[in-house]
């Protein structure tokens, strides 16, 4: 199954249903269900901004369905969706629109860049 590593608190905000669009600098053709992995290092500035002190890092925490990729062509379009992505333009101009988000049992694992494959058999 595909996995996407996302820094905390962004992963937690997705799992809480507060962040509906994940902003990236790159596009993808992938559509479908993927696992949400919290990166080993959190975004310290965002942790403070959203009032988090300690969140699990380095774990698969949930899953979501990528239903659409929105390409923000200008600042106006980006700002219009601010309440859905909660991010700054520095994160990129591609918005991965998410649906069917749910938490799963935590699995400790190192992450990777981009979408990567999780092979459960590897850990048995």
For residue 118, being part of any structural domain is answered with no
> What's the confidence (pLDDT) of residue 123?
41
Number of domains in the chain: 1
Burial of 2 (0-12, 13-18, 19+ CB in 10 A): middle
For residue 116, being part of any structural domain is answered with no
What CATH number should be reported for the domain holding residue 39? 2.30.130.30
Q: Is the pLDDT of residue 120 over 80?
A: no
**Phi, psi dihedrals of residue 82, rounded to the nearest 5°:** -50, -40
**What does the pLDDT look like over 43-85, one tens digit per residue?**
999 999 999 999 999 999 999 999 999 999 999 999 999 999 9
């Amino acid at each position: 199954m595909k996995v996407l590593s996302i820094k905390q608190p962004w992963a937690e905000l997705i799992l809480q249903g507060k962040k509906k669009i994940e902003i990236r600098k790159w596009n993808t053709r992938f559509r479908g269900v993927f696992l949400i992995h919290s990166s080993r290092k959190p975004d310290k500035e965002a942790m403070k901004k959203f009032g988090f002190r300690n969140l699990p890092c380095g774990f698969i925490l949930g899953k979501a369905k990528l239903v659409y990729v929105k390409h923000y062509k200008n600042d106006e379009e980006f700002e219009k969706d601010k309440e859905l992505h909660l991010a700054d333009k520095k994160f990129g101009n591609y918005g991965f629109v998410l649906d069917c988000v749910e938490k799963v049992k935590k699995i400790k694992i190192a992450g990777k860049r981009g979408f990567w494959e999780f092979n459960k058999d590897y850990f048995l």
